[in-house]
A and B are shown apart, each in its own frame.
Chain A
């Protein structure tokens, strides 16, 4: 065993931490080099960039975490985008009408998100339709309700009293840390989390062992609804309003947040899903912010979208063939070892 392998074996925690930090750091470094060499600007050029990063990060992190509640168990819930719109428009406007300010908007949206998510979960465990297809149908209905509510005005936070707290950096960091702690406990250390992981391993075995897979699915959908609602509130605070959509356009929010979730799940193998998804979201935000700097040399938003999704496609190709690459590496190592052994024996014989 080489010294490097020995070091890695002895310092597993350090190596895992380095792996988790290395990915967002590498993305930032690559974007920094590209941005500076082509536009003369840094990826994080001003305090505005840091504020944008923070707001987008919390929104993306919460949404990706919400998707992961079900995705890890083989349930792709495509209705989470419409749940976000429904929860924020109904919950947010209710809180504003009661003069509850930003915290009220956040709490009421979360509650409505939980109701919206729980209803999807209830339908799922009763109808047993493939989650993605169920999500598409639900999206149509939820979009219809959120579009028709509040005279098609959506949610407008601009100039509303007490909503400034949603843009406060300390408040954003506090909420992010709180969500991280709660979700780490729920996913990793609570009875719900243990059961969820058992179902993730094998649903039939978990069911045979006495785990109520139906209640667990309902709780997963409820948690996902709450998380996407939080994401929606911070996104609305950043843009100052949330315009309702039709024609399944809410799905674009779901699809764009699958990228940080996919990266996060890959990083989670060396940490845990919550930290992994945070690091994944940070990596994608660095990519997006870095690409945004190319606007200065005339690159359009659509070209940036093309690049972002092409990077995702390349990542998915790597992710789905990771085991084959490892297989080739192992084979090469075996061949090298065999050659070395043969050469050693030949030398001894000579």
Chain B
């Protein structure tokens, strides 16, 4: 009798409605791994067809790759911040200030390595400052990001001055580009992130803290230490991205880094990672997502969609993907800031 009722219950439990079926599919690990690649392939196919093959021209693909490297470097670094449950929207401003000081240092000395060292050093310093405000002064990371974004942007504009742009010698930027600096630096950083994230204790701690902070702290993990590591790894990535953005246009302007924060968030969710962190986080989501974002931006422009509508489309895609990547809570999500 008991066995029969148990079998009936199991039969009922197996009968899932469509929402539950979607939940089962989207939490499948193979689906999560295949989804970003499928999205990238789909976008390439759609725009390839819509532009009559023009999308596959070498110059277009080079442009996409160039944009993807900047977004991908930032997104790979910022995935460390996301993975332990923090959000930082100041990376665009950090990149702008890092690039500006790097260019000023280079123009004053004409020493190319100084451009790289100053850009990376400044970005690391600024991210360390953001982190200190959060860890030592107990201000929420997002509140710190909101305040410092305005301060860094204002300082950058002051440094650049009335012209709104500072050029560097074209020979220097082309030398760095032709010498393959971008690709070597990007893949070096990417491999470092993969190793730290997936094969070291600190990477596991970051994911654990993002999944359940209280539980992780009760097992002896230091939230402060993990936050510092995540911000410094992100700072290194943002610093490199600052150098890449200078190489890209042989200049730095007050617009450098603007809109990057949203591109990075979109790249992260398109790469199949939740921006709320947790055990499903990974370090490679940023690269796949960055390629998809760059292809999407370029493709929409090539098919003649106005820039305002591109933004709207990106907003809808962003919300749909965040919804897909996040677990639905029983109550309303909230997070005290003040």
Contacts and interface: CB of A to CB of B under 8 A. Distances in A.
Interface string B226-264: 000000000000000000000000000000001101100
B332 A214 contact: yes
Nearest to B158: A302
Nearest to A303: B158
Interface string A122-142: 011101111111101111110
A131 B133 CA distance: 23
Interface stretch (B32-40, B212-220, B306-314): B306-314
A248 B89 CA distance: 12
A347 interface: no
A129 B323 contact: yes
Given A313-B133, A316-B139, A74 B258 contact: no
A187 to B, nearest CB: 16
Interface string A43-79: 0000000000000000000000000000101111000
Chain B, interface size: which category? 35 or more
Interface string B306-338: 111101101110110011001011011111111
A317 to B, nearest CB: 5
Contacts of B174: none
A124 to B, nearest CB: 7
B81 to A, nearest CB: 14
A113 to B, nearest CB: 19
Contact of B314 (A125, A127, A140): A140
A310 interface: yes
Interface string A1-31: 0000000000000000000000000000000
Q: Is the interface of A mostly helix, strand, loop or mixed?
A: helix
A247 interface: yes
A246 B310 CA distance: 11
B332 A316 contact: no
Contacts of A138: 315, 319
Interface string A282-313: 00000000000000000010110110011011
A127 B158 CA distance: 42
A317 B151 contact: no
Given A248-B262, A258-B146, A316-B139, A147 B308 contact: yes
